[in-house]
Amino acid sequence: MRAVTVAGKDMLPVLENKDLPVAGLDEVVLQLYASAMNHRDVWITKGLYPGIRYGCTMGSDGCGTYLGQEYIINPGLGWGDSEQAQSSSFRVLGVPDEGTFADNIAIDRKYLHPKPDHLSVHQAAALPLAGVTAYRALLSRARATAGEKVLITGIGGGVALMAMQFALAQGCAVFVTSSDPDKIHKAKSMGASEGYNYKDPDWPKKLAADAGGVDVVIDGACGAGFSSLVKVCNPGGRIAFYGATAGPVDSLNPQAVFWKQLSILGSTMGSESDFALMVDFVAKHRVTPVIDEVIPLDNFESGFRRMAAGSQFGKIVFSH
């Protein structure tokens, strides 16, 4: 079977021919129709991820078939029993475990969930990792409720876009940031109230003038811009962050955090319960993941280049 595997540090992955996987105890072999990229795939090719194994099949997201039923895969393996945090054996599917950028995968059947009926196999493949990360950050951690104002940073990101769709479905008013006016325009056409360029130093003032502040922030960037997120929060606000694309937070005004009674919440992926709740939420609200591009698996290199350049709006999907 075809498999896209890790080649080395600062190298694009390679397409290999591997033996069909054999199902272990409690596992089934799923034939994959589609898979989708996440930023971690790019971090892995740069050597910037723990547990990298050369020759390992990449990919965390997938949709496929087993005995005539279509499934998506929960890529959060070994979460454990606590809803508070994952266990020490937690890992994300696709390096070091064999991933979804292949024609087949052997996977424990407990990680399979029936594909929501309203989604195509490509849309369904785009859902799992970004969906569970956005769901936990927005709904399990920040507990956004209907009527609240939610700011989502870097709306071009896969998780960010999913968080926006979930926040709108929850009945929140959504504000976004992006480096790209075209992405802001697209977000507004999907229901965002307003958008701001995070490279404009005056964006927090503009948001304050438009919205008067926000109740929830969902951030995947951190970096120097994090202090602005504290500034735009209303008293009692919650900032949930799941990534640090822009690097460490170098300054934070502690007085603003304690005086406004803010909660700063780290969030990673989600529990098995978060995943099941996310799939139910998507089915109930008929949320459809935004696809930037569907690329044949054989042309995977163009997907890696596009994500590294950050030009995508929505998920990059591989069709198998």
By C-beta, is 149 or 183 nearer to ligand NAP?
A: 183
**Closest-approach residue to ligand NAP (CB):** 243
Closest approach of ligand NAP to the CB of residue 168, in Å: 17
By C-beta, is 180 or 194 nearer to ligand NAP?
A: 180
Closest approach of ligand NAP to the CB of residue 24, in Å: 26
Closest approach of ligand NAP to the CB of residue 260, in Å: 21
By C-beta, is 107 or 221 nearer to ligand NAP?
A: 221
Closest approach of ligand NAP to the CB of residue 164, in Å: 11
By C-beta, is 130 or 173 nearer to ligand NAP?
A: 130
By C-beta, is 21 or 63 nearer to ligand NAP?
A: 63
Closest approach of ligand NAP to the CB of residue 64, in Å: 21
Q: Which token pair is 100?
A: 């979804």
Which residues of this chain interact with ligand NAP, rule CB under 6 A?
38-40, 43, 129, 133, 153-160, 177-180, 183, 198, 220-221, 223, 225, 242-243, 245-246, 268-269, 307, 310
3-state secondary structure labels for all residues of 173-234: EEEEEECCHHHHHHHHHHCCCEEEECCCCCHHHHHHHHHCCEEEEEECCCHHHHHHHHHHEE
Closest approach of ligand NAP to the CB of residue 198, in Å: 5
By C-beta, is 162 or 172 nearer to ligand NAP?
A: 162
Rounded CA-CA distance 179/207 in Å is 15
By C-beta, is 104 or 186 nearer to ligand NAP?
A: 186
Closest approach of ligand NAP to the CB of residue 315, in Å: 8
- Cβ atoms of 106 and 100 within 8 Å: the answer is no
By C-beta, is 21 or 270 nearer to ligand NAP?
A: 270
- Cβ atoms of 74 and 275 within 8 Å: the answer is yes
Closest approach of ligand NAP to the CB of residue 148, in Å: 21
